[in-house]
Homo-oligomer: A and B are copies of this chain.
Amino acid sequence: MRMSQGVEWALHTCLNLSWLDVPVPTSVLAAFYELPPAYLNKQLQALARAGILSSTSGPAGGFRLAREPEQVSLMDIVAAIEGPDELFRCDQILRQGPGKHAGVDYRDSCAFSQAMHRADLAWRSELAATSVAGIRANVERQHPKAPANTRERIAELRR
């Protein structure tokens, strides 16, 4: 149960985009970390569908953040890439055991399902409490030149 590779790419790319207010094409964003452009594009499309990024076609087009960085949580990004499903999926095997009741939804009544759901919620809460803006502030405190360096490198890759 490993998380998709694309999540890491999406996180860092969103941070970089938060330092740029003009659309940046996939090719440039991919070159920034030497990633496969076509595959990164797939991830960015998912972010766009989720309303995290907005896309522009044609020359001078690309992706940019659709909302303020404060309004983009890590949970949003993970959900956009990985989908909305919970980590634990209850298949209700209790329906096959003794003491089964036809009308019961064991996703609600099964004690294991409840416990796994609580853990899932703790994970999601932690992710939802962290925004791209928070990460950005953290990074800028430790590396004050990061925004300028990023903008410069993006400009170089554009040429």
Contacts and interface: CB of A to CB of B under 8 A. Distances in A.
Interface stretch (A19-27, A30-38, A45-53, A57-65): A30-38
Kindly state the interface size class of chain A when it binds its partner: 35 or more
A11 interface: yes
Q: Is the interface of A mostly helix, strand, loop or mixed?
A: helix
Interface string A1-23: 11111011101100100000000
Contact of A149 (B98, B122, B127): B98
Contacts of A90: 8
A145 B98 CA distance: 11
B87 A3 contact: yes
Nearest to A31: B96
Given A1-B82, A12-B112, 9 more contacts: A5-B91, A8-B91, A74-B115, A87-B123, A98-B152, A111-B142, A112-B135, A115-B130, A119-B130
Nearest to A92: B8
Contact of A87 (B1, B5, B74, B118): B1
